[in-house]
């Protein structure tokens, strides 16, 4: 019974030890750079870079920076390991090196050795900092302090936020990088993988970070995957980390290599947009869909009897139109036509001679000029009207011209005989002065 209990206890201890220990692959899949060329092509462009060969330009703008954008640090047996949120992050953050070009921006140069992250570390008062390792930089140079990347290639964070999933929210201002670097020292902690005889830069010590944070840090186990990609679940990082054979890289290359003129400069690129220059696409003309015409129902023709059809098919005889008899015009003699064609002569109107004014005797004029004396009204017997000849009546019927009133003294009324004489005489018609000779007054008839 005791033996069974001991055996059962031993089995439990062995299972627990297996779960706690980091899982490592006993055998890696061997591949070439072709896996990089194929997997990264959808997310950037491959260009032939001078003095190196094929490099990868990601489809991101100036805001992108390796080991800074879209990821965080976790602590594993290999040291501090970068976990990327990009689907393609399994390759360029664990193989190869990063460099910066003024035209392309950040470019990735593939290599055959896997690592938790290819960066160098520094510590400043209350801050940790890291920067990507450039091409051909050995660990001896990096750890000895001989490698000094540009100040804007560094990222610094307060030590209490180290290991957080949202560490990118606590990065220090880039403008303070010079101050951080001048007051920093190189972190030369390393981890040696005996299975592959590889040395890695491990970064800050676990106990130093725990002291700064004031809390314990869990170690994350790494499990190799046969599928491309990476995922972090239940304190375990599953990642694709094949072995790259150098001999297999001699005859491989990207399926498509872009020229420099085809690549947008980094200043003109935006995150997620293709790095390749694209011409505006012409809108493809969609084929017009021809709808079938609707059949129009024609009315059925009525059946016509044969006799009626034969009559309709016979040619119609056109009868001549009856001539309408127009009335004959009367013949006009030639002499009459000529007279009618001659222009009519308009005769001038005869000037009507107006009768001259009668000459008034001097004595009578003097009497008219004398002041009038008002005499009592007397009943004047109206004389019998005499018959006036026709010519005199015509003259009387002519329109009278009224002269303007003049400030003349009224003359005395003439004696009855004179009034009678005036009535017998025709009324004076005073015409406006004209440069024409007036006709003599008509003579009185007895």
Phi, psi of 350 (to 5 degrees): -70, 135
Tokens of 424: 């017998």
pLDDT at 26: 39
- Calpha distance 161→153 (Å, rounded): 20
pLDDT, position 299: 46
Residue 367 has φ and ψ, to the nearest 5°, of -60, -35
Q: Which pLDDT belongs to residue 160?
A: 95
* Helices (H) then strands (E): counts for the chain: 10, 17
More confidently predicted of 43 and 344: 43
- Alpha-carbon span 195 to 26, nearest angstrom: 9
Which helix (H) or strand (E) covers residue 369, if one does?
helix 362-369
| CB contact at 8 A, 251 and 265 | no
Angle at 403 between CA 399 and CA 405, to 5 degrees: 145
Residue with tokens 């610094």: 156
CB 131 within 8 A of CB 81: no
Give the burial class of 168: count Cβ atoms within 10 A of its Cβ; 0-12 exposed, 13-18 middle, 19 or more buried: middle
Neighbours of 131 (CB within 10 A): 27
Hunting for tokens 């900092």 — which residue is that? 129
pLDDT surpasses 90 at 345: no
Q: What is the mean pLDDT of the chain?
A: 76
With contact defined as beta carbons under 8 Å apart, do 58 and 44 qualify?
Answer: yes
pLDDT value, residue 333: 58
The answer, yes or no, to whether residue 418 has pLDDT greater than 70, is no
How many Cβ atoms from other residues are within 10 Å of residue 381's Cβ? 8
Picking from 96, 94, 98, the residue whose alpha carbon sits closest to that of residue 84 is 94
Q: How far is CA 386 from the centre of its chain?
A: 109
d(CA 14, CA 285): 70
- Express each pLDDT in 254-308 by its tens digit: 999 999 999 999 988 876 666 666 554 444 444 455 454 544 445 455 565 666 6
Q: How many residues does the chain have?
A: 446
pLDDT at 360 over 50: yes
Map residue 71 onto helix, strand or coil: strand
Cα 392 to its chain centre, rounded Å, is 101
Phi, psi of 181 (to 5 degrees): -70, -40
Contact of 222 with 23, CB cutoff 8 Å: yes
DSSP code of residue 43:
G
Q: Which two tokens stand for residue 111?
A: 């290599």
Is residue 128 within 8 Å of residue 204, measured between CB atoms? yes
Residue 250's nearest CA partner among 33, 6, 56 is 33
Task: Give tens-digit pLDDT for 159-177.
Answer: 999 999 999 999 999 999 9
**pLDDT of 280:** 47
Q: Which of 28-32, 44-48, 147-151, 216-220 has the lowest mean pLDDT?
A: 28-32
What would the mean pLDDT of 58-71 be, rounded to a whole number?
94
Closest to 245 (Cα-Cα) out of 49, 394, 28? 28
> Could you tell me the CA-to-CA distances from 54 to 80, 118, 247, 254 in Å, in that order?
29, 19, 17, 8
The region of weakest confidence among 33-37, 39-43, 431-435 is 431-435
130: which DSSP letter?
E
Band of pLDDT at residue 431, cut at 50, 70 and 90: low
Lowest-confidence range among 16-25, 118-127, 228-237, 362-371? 16-25
Does the CA dihedral 425-427-433-439 come out positive or negative?
negative
pLDDT of residue 251: 86
Look-up of token digits 């980390």: 241
Provide DSSP, 88-101: TTTTTTTSSEEEEE
Give pLDDT, residue 248. 81
Q: Which comes out higher in pLDDT, residue 239 or 406?
A: 239
Q: Which of 279, 160, 261, 172 is nearest to 209 (CA)?
A: 160
């Amino acid at each position: 019974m005791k033996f069974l209990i001991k055996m059962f206890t031993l089995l439990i201890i062995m299972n627990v030890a297996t779960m706690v220990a980091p899982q490592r692959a006993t055998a890696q899949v061997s591949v070439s750079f072709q896996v990089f060329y194929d997997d990264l092509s959808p997310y950037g462009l491959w260009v032939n870079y001078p003095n190196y060969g094929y490099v990868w330009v990601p489809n991101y703008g100036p805001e992108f920076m390796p080991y800074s954008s879209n990821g965080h640090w976790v602590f594993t047996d290999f040291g501090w390991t970068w976990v990327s949120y990009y689907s393609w992050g399994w390759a360029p953050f664990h193989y190869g090196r990063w460099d910066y070009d003024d035209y392309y921006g950040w470019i990735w140069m593939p290599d055959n050795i896997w690592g938790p992250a290819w960066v160098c570390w520094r510590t400043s008062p209350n801050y940790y900092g890291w920067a990507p390792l450039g091409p051909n930089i050995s660990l001896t140079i990096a750890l000895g302090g001989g490698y000094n990347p540009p100040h804007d290639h560094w990222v610094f964070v307060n030590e209490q936020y180290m290991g957080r999933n949202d560490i990118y929210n606590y990065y220090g201002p880039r403008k303070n990088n010079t101050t951080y670097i001048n007051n920093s020292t190189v972190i030369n902690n390393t981890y040696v993988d005996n299975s592959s005889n590889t040395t890695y830069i491990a970064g800050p010590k676990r106990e130093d970070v725990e002291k700064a944070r004031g809390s314990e840090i869990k170690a994350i186990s790494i499990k190799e995957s046969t599928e491309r990609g990476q995922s972090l679940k239940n304190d375990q990082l599953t990642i694709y980390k094949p072995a790259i054979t150098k001999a297999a890289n001699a005859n491989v290359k990207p399926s498509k290599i872009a020229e420099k003129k085809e690549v947008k400069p980094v200043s003109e690129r935006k995150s997620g947009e293709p790095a390749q220059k694209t011409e505006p696409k012409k809108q493809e003309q969609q084929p017009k869909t021809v709808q079938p015409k609707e059949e129009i129902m024609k009315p059925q023709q009525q059946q016509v009897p044969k006799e009626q059809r034969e009559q309709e098919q016979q040619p119609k005889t056109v009868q001549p139109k009856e001539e309408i008899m127009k009335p004959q015009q009367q013949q006009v003699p030639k002499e009459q036509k000529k007279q009618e064609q001659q222009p009519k002569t308009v005769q001038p109107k005869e000037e009507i001679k107006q009768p001259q004014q009668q000459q008034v005797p001097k004595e009578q004029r003097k009497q008219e000029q004398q002041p009038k004396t008002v005499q009592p009204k007397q009943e004047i017997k109206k004389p019998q009207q005499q018959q006036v000849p026709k010519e005199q009546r015509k003259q009387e019927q002519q329109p009278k011209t009224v002269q303007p009133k003049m400030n003349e003294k009224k003359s005395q009324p003439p004696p009855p005989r004179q009034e009678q004489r005036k009535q017998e005489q025709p009324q004076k018609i005073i015409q406006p002065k004209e440069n024409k000779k007036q006709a003599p007054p008509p003579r009185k008839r007895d």
